[in-house]
Amino acid sequence: MSFPWRSRSEVLISGKYKVSKKIGGGSFGDIYLAINIGTGEEVAVKVESTKARHPQLLYESRVYKMLQGGVGIPHIRWYGYEREYNILVMDLLGPSLEDLFNFCTRQFTIKTVLMLADQMLNRVEFLHCKCFIHRDIKPDNFLMGIGRHCNKLYMIDFGLAKKYRDLRTRAHISYREDKNLTGTARYASINAHLGIEQSRRDDMESLGYVLMYFNRGALPWQGLKAITKKQKYERISEKKMSTPVEVLCKGFPAEFAMFLNYCRGLAFDESPDYMYLRQLFRILFRTMNYQYDYTFDWTILRQRKHHLESAAAADRRSPSLQRRAAPQPQPPPNNEVKSVHATNDSTVNKHTVKGQVSVAQMKKKINAT
């Protein structure tokens, strides 16, 4: 989908946002980079055709409005309608966690996963406090900020979000079955696969799968083949239900299995104990002697790449480069040329808790701290 104007340079939204280039897209429409002509500030513009089969941008803008002011919630600059398009202007953010996972060759350290888990739990708890559930928790819907907010995690894409309780009466929605799967099958809860109405517990279970995706690099139910989408969803559901949590989390700290078992054990209308889950991971973080320094895996990788690029640029500028590149005299045939290979191997000790620890025992441990 593209704007109906002859060129994007003609596109001026709300009289002040000049569209620059397309930076993303999906089934809902496209996302463009735009510049506030008054301040020079860059923003993101989400565009949806009013003729879309299932328009959701107006609804999403209303959800955003109710969430404004929350940490890790993008600020909405403007929503309106122009030339047969629904348009949402919001903060420009950085890459998604899926983008960063790929940038890091699909490998995150436990430290990075735990730092992300802490922020993700905070974002989900805030959303739930506002009486909404997300229903599409996945790496693509969490983005890092830019500039001075580059270490802050943002939650986005509330087109599938739903109120789980009445804002006025605080009454919880009713338990229902025979619902179609809403969200992304890879991270969907087992109850969502079974057609049960989603509630807070389902967001939490999906978050558990996202964390194990980062730990493992892939989930056991990825890559399953099927002829139709329905059959694929059924195969994913079967594999998910037949994979014990302990098998899914094998080789990783026991806290991840405890997290998932806790979330799966929640009742339909039960409020998750967010503090308990946060402390579960924070105690593990301290036990592994990590420092909460916001040094993520991609931070280190970017620094290394920048260092290599700087070194290469310095070599290109160096006058001695030509001398080093000149042919060197060959040693006599009888001389031995020795080569020394320096190694810089490092091992990462993974803290795996042996034995089964109950939720009650862990809560006692947390309360004692």
- Count of domains for the chain: 2
Q: Is residue 55 part of a domain?
A: yes
Residue 172 has pLDDT above 70, yes or no: yes
- Output the pLDDT for position 167: 86
- Output the pLDDT for position 311: 81
- Output the pLDDT for position 338: 38
Residue 223 has pLDDT above 50, yes or no: yes
Q: Is residue 238 part of a domain?
A: yes
- Output the pLDDT for position 312: 81
- The rounded mean pLDDT for the chain is 88
- Same domain flag for 111 and 198: yes
Residue 52 has pLDDT above 90, yes or no: no
Range scoring the smallest mean pLDDT among 112-116, 173-177, 250-254, 350-354: 350-354
Q: Is residue 351 part of a domain?
A: no
- Output the pLDDT for position 101: 99
Q: Is residue 343 part of a domain?
A: no
- Same domain flag for 112 and 256: yes
Residue 218 has pLDDT above 60, yes or no: yes
Q: Is residue 367 part of a domain?
A: no
- Same domain flag for 77 and 124: no
Out of 300, 325, 356, pick the residue that ends a domain: 300
Q: Is residue 11 part of a domain?
A: no
The CATH number of the domain holding residue 77 is 3.30.200.20
- Output the pLDDT for position 305: 85
> Is the pLDDT higher at 312 or at 348?
312
- Output the pLDDT for position 357: 56
Q: Is residue 334 part of a domain?
A: no
- Same domain flag for 81 and 173: no
Show the 3-state SS of the chain: CCCCCCCHHHCEECCCEEEEEEEEEECCEEEEEEEECCCCCEEEEEEEECCCCCCCHHHHHHHHHHHCCCCCCCCEEEEEEECCEEEEEEECCCCEHHHHHHHCCCCCCHHHHHHHHHHHHHHHHHHHHCCEECCCCCHHHEEECCHHHCCCEEECCCCCCEECECCCCCCECCCCCCCCCCCCHHHCCHHHHCCCCCCHHHHHHHHHHHHHHHHHCCCCCCCCCCCCHHHHHHHHHHHHHHCCHHHHCCCCCHHHHHHHHHHHCCCCCCCCCHHHHHHHHHHHHHHCCCCCCCCCHHHHHHHHHHHHHHHHHHHHHCCHHHHHHCCCCCCCCCCCCCCCCCCCCCCCCCCCCCCCCCHHHHHHHHHHC
- Same domain flag for 75 and 197: no
- Same domain flag for 180 and 131: yes
Q: What percent of the chain has pLDDT over 90?
A: 75
- Same domain flag for 107 and 24: no
Residue 339 has pLDDT above 50, yes or no: no
- Same domain flag for 47 and 166: no
- Output the pLDDT for position 364: 63
pTM for the model: 0.84
Annotated binding residues for ATP, written as ranges, equal 46
Using pLDDT thresholds of 50, 70 and 90, give the confidence band for residue 182: very high
- Same domain flag for 185 and 197: yes
Using pLDDT thresholds of 50, 70 and 90, give the confidence band for residue 316: confident
The CATH number of the domain holding residue 280 is 1.10.510.10
Residue 176 has pLDDT above 60, yes or no: yes
> Average pLDDT of 312-326?
66
- Same domain flag for 163 and 281: yes
The residue type found at 335 is N
- Same domain flag for 147 and 178: yes
Residue 343 has pLDDT above 50, yes or no: no
Residue 358 has pLDDT above 80, yes or no: no
Q: Is residue 361 part of a domain?
A: no
Residue 73 belongs to what domain range? 19-29+43-89
Where in the sequence numbering do the catalytic residues fall? Answer: 136
- Same domain flag for 84 and 98: no
